[in-house]
Amino acid sequence: MIIKVTFLGTGAGTPGKDRYLPAILVEDGQRRILLDAGEGIQYRLLEVGVSPLKVTHVFITHLHGDHVFGLPGLLATMAMLGRKEDIIISGPRGIMNLVRSTMEVVGDPPFHVWVYEIEPSENIKEVINEENFNLQCVLARHTVTDCAYSLEWRTYVGRFDPERARKLGVPVTYWKRLHMGETVVLDDGKVVKPEDVIDIKSSGVIKLVYTGDTAPSNSVIELARNAQVLIHESTFSAAEDGNLVWNQGHSRSIDAAWIARKANVDKLVLTHISNRYSDPELLAAEASEAFPNVVAARDLMSLLINA
């Protein structure tokens, strides 16, 4: 399985010339997930060739405007384009009211919106548990309730057996989904599991963690433990006063690096970068002194994660 992560917006607070507001697109071949939905999200989706109709999940970290003001327009566009498929939205308390208010303006949409309103705590909490996908959250350290998210995929390594698939009557169009670890239901109602058609040698987990806005937090360290990728906010440079930054519920580049090191992650990606820094490589250079495998995200940058 390969997970594609595209940074649609990497800014903080207000949009900049080269930075839209926070939004990340995660694609796993089955789902198209948005992490936050800042202003301009619809335009950014068009730029990367993804229709709003194809978005399956939206996970909002917190209800500050720069992270959520793109959601009403996105839902309105989905309704205008005649979306039929359900969509899943999660976020902290208040996300339900935001969706309801949007729908009062949009009208009765031709699709159903499933809303998971979360009360995060410092202990890891499960939000969604689907076939080969799991979403967990903890309370990050911000000025309002912020859900830091862990996205996990169960992967299977093994040889796909076409003969077994044919004997079970599995159409070729389902083979890739089974090989990616998904259970499928055939047209006649028969349920086929990956192990029915794959000689499984081993299984593993792909883990991606996104913090939203946060000061350094032990709960985030536990959530991010052994993740392949940690996407951590880095609003400010190491040159700023730590106490002032933390009191605002934010982190510096070196704070993000410290979290990544403590959590034993493979890769750190810095985002939510203040417009005062024209070149985000400054922040990456600072972070690299404590954690070597780090990159500063730029708008429309993509990275691939595999098991």
Distance CA 196, CA 231 (A): 36
Choosing from 66, 146, 255, 299, which is the catalytic residue? Answer: 66
Q: Which two tokens stand for residue 281?
A: 């490589």
| Position 291, amino acid | F
112 labelled binding-site residue: no
- E strands, 23-121, in order: 23-27, 32-35, 57-59, 87-92, 113-118
Q: Which of 221, 230, 216 is nearest to 268 (CA)?
A: 230
272 labelled binding-site residue: yes
Distance CA 50, CA 68 (A): 19
66 as an active site residue: the answer is: yes
Helices (H), 69-228: 71-80, 95-106, 162-167, 175-179, 194-197, 218-223
299 labelled binding-site residue: no
266 labelled binding-site residue: no
Q: Which of 64, 72, 145 is nearest to 105 (CA)?
A: 72
Distance CA 16, CA 276 (A): 10
232 labelled binding-site residue: no
| Position 80, amino acid | M
Say if CB 91 and CB 61 are below 8 A apart: yes
From the annotation, which residues make up the binding site for Zn(2+)? 62, 64, 66-67, 142, 213, 272
From the annotation, which residues make up the binding site? 62, 64, 66-67, 142, 213, 272
Residues with catalytic roles: 66
